[in-house]
Structure 1
Amino acid sequence: MHEQSVKVTIVGAGSVGVTTAYALLLSGLASEIVLLDIDQARAEGEAIDLSHAAHYAHAKVRVASSYADCAGSTIVIITAGVNQKPGQTRLDLVKTNYALFRTVVPEVARNAPDTILLVATNPVDVLTHAAFELSGFPVQRVIGSGTAMDTTRFRHELGKHYGVNPRNVHAVIIGEHGDSQIPVWSLASIAGMRLRDYCSQKGIAYDDAAMTEVARRTRGAAYEIIQRKGKTNYGVASVLVSIVEPIVKNSDAIVTVSRVGIYEGVGPVALSMPCKLNYRGAHQDVPLLLDAAEREGVKKSAQSILDVIVSAKGG
């Protein structure tokens, strides 16, 4: 897919939506960025401001007057919804945002029937499942940002602990983008070596307590940020662009994103596993080789998300 033809529509011109638009603009991945928001005046103000940055980035930024402006979008990113407040879990947001998706997703699907939906609104796994059902799209064309952010945080924390660049840490968080997420310790590696082997080669002790703390900081990062500044936006915007890139470039990159499926016998439910991303969407080509405890963690995570889906539908 040639980048000159790439149109990305962002539904929701709040903090995450506009930060994503800005990051996308600077990335050069899209030739056209469309903002769609119920608050037209705010969206227009953001688009004008972004257009001044677009002078240096060579992309067109405009505001949608209706859902009809989604037509022809390569990707539609949904960031609209109520934000998480201090003390709230992502799952606490479900009723309000599920109701919103009942309005938004069918309109997007009707006007952009060939697009890829990228969901960022929390609780992202529950809403990725909602977007899949409400759009009628094939499973690979409905993607949640999922634990891509948690995976980035996990690698950052491990890199900091071991004194290496996070890019050289290969480790993933799977399951729910939330409290039941699972750090995959059995596969985590640096320089091609599992962490225990890396420690052995380096002549240092493998510290279980430190690793538990790394997982805790990863899981609690959003709460810490929200407690201090009231929202998260820069990290998630960067992660959304990192999901857009392999789709636009058709690069078959493996990214940990949320997708609907059956996980450890539970489902259908959306949760995160490493997926191959290209212009057709997200593909789970190879099951992750997990140990027994991690598989049990996935099962529990899937069940907790499924319980919320059932509750949201009933509400």
Structure 2
Amino acid sequence: MEFSEEQLKKWLSKYKFRDLTIEELKSIHESYPNTTFAMNTYTFKDGSQKDLLNCSGTVPVKYQGNSYNIPIFLWILDSHPFTPPICFLKPTANMGISVGKHVDARGRIYLPYLQNWSHPQSMIIGLLKEMSAKFEEELPLFSVSSSDAARQSELLSYIAKITEGEDNIQSKGEGKKNDGGFNKVTVIGAGDLGLACALAISAKGVADRVVVLDCSEGTMKGAAMDLEIFALPNVEISRDFSASAGSKLVVLTVNSLGNAQSYLDVVQSNVELFRGIIPSVAHYSQQSVLLVASQPVEIMTYVSWKMSGFPKSRVIGIGCNLDSARFQYIIANLLKAQIRGKDNWIIGEQGENKVAAWSASNSVTSHQDEDIANQNAQHLLANRAMEVLKGRGQKSWSVGLSIADLADSILNDKRKVHSISTMVKGCYNINSEVFLSVPCVLGISGVTEVIKLLDKGTVVQELQSTAASIHDLQQQLKL
């Protein structure tokens, strides 16, 4: 096939790195001369559309002494070469798909090369070579008998829609929200916390779709593999960042498992981990709210804000939401109030440096209102509640339930108050860019308001001291 650089320049006029992409396409044409290029509209799962370049061709595979040409179809994103292509098999009428660890039932291709994509080391030529190597281990297609031809034609029609640009093929139950109201959540990380989040959000019924992105190396293990085996109706597990496209909420639960010795080294290793995640998340879900559960929450929320370029209102951390809910529950029981007080909070830094505080509109619902309005009574009550809180860990399932609570407030635009990590520069005489937990009103666009706290000198001093410590550590990080 003839290679037309001029035509490609016209097609790729809106691509961020057009010349780099064209150079790579030249290499593909030289090594795989039968590859054809075209420009079509691709529809993502959230209904958004983009005009993208696609490549159609074959990769050679030798399997059990026989030679095969496996037909493939690649969509090249407009941020190429910094993001990997979306890859599919494109079987003919006499071919069936062998579902395996690298290919799903739709013909979508998943490879370690895609998962670990990093420019300039990663290129499409290298990807095609890995396809050949992996497909030689496990052939992705098989011949279909004439008796299966009718069933196969239905499958091919489905796959054709995907490879020709429709990636939002919905089940009968999903067609209810085509007005932009489809609530999609992506959970980054398939460890215990990530899966606890996904299951809690799914059980709460606040999301139409939950995508779990497994960022671990090698094959899926443990609970992630079990979730892949025992599929849930609205939960998808993937290793491809494009599966997160169009999410309204992205929850980050990953932590580096490196061998760092000092606390600074541990945090820096998490920064490096986020460097490979946040830009892709920001690219695929540009209007999302980022909710950070990775440790240390306050610093990793700051890192996410810096790397994403999102407004501060749309980057938050789980902060003290769980501790505040427990605190309010304990206070209500100590007062024997009929309903939980909503004006007492745990704020500051998640962990040992958290402090108890009351919001300015204190309204605990019981006959003891006047007593707890007294600062000494508040102090004694807070101390008793904090003693009860001691020893209560942050188990994955507890944090998962707390995150589902936050997801409910965000996705359903409830404007509910939560103690979450937000940018506090300009509050409480804090002048540095740090994130701390304070009561905030949460909605679909993230933080819409920060609730004023009672101006207690000791509480403010502790917040300022914590902010200074966090800022000092942030200054030592290599961002």
TM-score where L is the length of structure 1: 0.81
What is the CA-CA distance between 1:4 and the residue it aligns to? 6.3
What is the CA-CA distance between 1:10 and the residue it aligns to? 0.5
Matched, 1:214 2:377: no
User: 1:193 & 1:290 partners in 2: Cα distance?
Assistant: 24
Matched, 1:60 2:239: no
| Structure 2 equivalent of residue 300 of structure 1 | 465
User: Structure 1's 232 and 82: CA in aligned 2 closer, same or farther, altered over 3 A?
Assistant: farther
Matched, 1:105 2:270: no
User: Which residues of 2 match residues 13-92 of structure 1 at below 5 A?
Assistant: 13-39=190-216, 40-42=219-221, 43-49=224-230, 51=231, 54=232, 59-82=233-256
Matched, 1:158 2:331: yes
Matched, 1:241 2:418: no
Q: CA contact under 8 A between 2:188 and 2:215: conserved in structure 1? A: no
What is the CA-CA distance between 1:295 and the residue it aligns to? 1.5
User: Structure 1's 103 and 13: CA in aligned 2 closer, same or farther, altered over 3 A?
Assistant: same
What is the one-letter code of the residue matched to 2:319? G
What is the CA-CA distance between 1:123 and the residue it aligns to? 0.7
User: 1:293 & 1:35 partners in 2: Cα distance?
Assistant: 42
Q: CA contact under 8 A between 1:261 and 1:270: conserved in structure 2? A: yes
Q: Which runs of 5+ in 2 are unaligned?
A: 1-176, 258-262
Q: CA contact under 8 A between 1:119 and 1:128: conserved in structure 2? A: yes
User: 1:3 & 1:197 partners in 2: Cα distance?
Assistant: 49
Q: Which runs of 5+ in 1 are unaligned?
A: 84-89, 226-230
User: 1:195 & 1:92 partners in 2: Cα distance?
Assistant: 48
What is the CA-CA distance between 1:277 and the residue it aligns to? 1.1
User: Structure 1's 216 and 69: CA in aligned 2 closer, same or farther, altered over 3 A?
Assistant: same
Pick from 119, 123, 132: which aligns with 2:292?
Answer: 119
Structure with the bigger RCO (C-alpha within 8 Å, sep 6+) is 1
Range moving further from structure 2, 169-178 or 28-37: 169-178
Pick from 243, 246, 261: which aligns with 2:424?
Answer: 261
**SS of residue paired to 1:259:** strand
Q: CA contact under 8 A between 1:252 and 1:276: conserved in structure 2? A: yes
Query: Which whole-Å deviations, capped at 9, do the CAs of 1:239-294 have from their partners, x for residues lacking one?
Result: 11111112111121111111123042231111111111111111234433322222
**SS of residue paired to 1:241:** helix
User: 1:292 & 1:285 partners in 2: Cα distance?
Assistant: 19
**SS of residue paired to 2:419:** strand
User: Which residues of 2 match residues 226-237 of structure 1 at below 5 A?
Assistant: 232-237=395-400
| Structure 1 equivalent of residue 365 of structure 2 | 191
| Structure 2 equivalent of residue 228 of structure 1 | none
What is the one-letter code of the residue matched to 1:270? F
| Count of residue pairs the alignment pairs up | 291
User: 1:303 & 1:24 partners in 2: Cα distance?
Assistant: 35
| Structure 1 equivalent of residue 50 of structure 2 | none
What is the CA-CA distance between 1:149 and the residue it aligns to? 1.3
User: 2:181 & 2:285 partners in 1: Cα distance?
Assistant: 19
| Structure 1 equivalent of residue 140 of structure 2 | none
User: Structure 1's 260 and 236: CA in aligned 2 closer, same or farther, altered over 3 A?
Assistant: same
| Structure 2 equivalent of residue 146 of structure 1 | 319
User: 1:285 & 1:92 partners in 2: Cα distance?
Assistant: 33
User: Structure 1's 78 and 165: CA in aligned 2 closer, same or farther, altered over 3 A?
Assistant: farther
Flag the structure with higher helix content. Answer: 1
**SS of residue paired to 1:177:** coil
What is the one-letter code of the residue matched to 2:305? F
What is the CA-CA distance between 1:196 and the residue it aligns to? 6.1
What is the one-letter code of the residue matched to 1:243? L
User: 2:203 & 2:264 partners in 1: Cα distance?
Assistant: 32
Q: CA contact under 8 A between 1:196 and 1:206: conserved in structure 2? A: no
What is the one-letter code of the residue matched to 2:478? K
| Structure 2 equivalent of residue 86 of structure 1 | none
What is the CA-CA distance between 1:206 and the residue it aligns to? 4.7
**SS of residue paired to 2:455:** coil
What is the CA-CA distance between 1:144 and the residue it aligns to? 0.6
User: Structure 1's 106 and 183: CA in aligned 2 closer, same or farther, altered over 3 A?
Assistant: same
Matched, 1:10 2:187: yes
**SS of residue paired to 1:127:** helix
| Structure 1 equivalent of residue 308 of structure 2 | 135
Q: CA contact under 8 A between 1:3 and 1:30: conserved in structure 2? A: no
User: 1:207 & 1:290 partners in 2: Cα distance?
Assistant: 13
What is the CA-CA distance between 1:101 and the residue it aligns to? 1.4
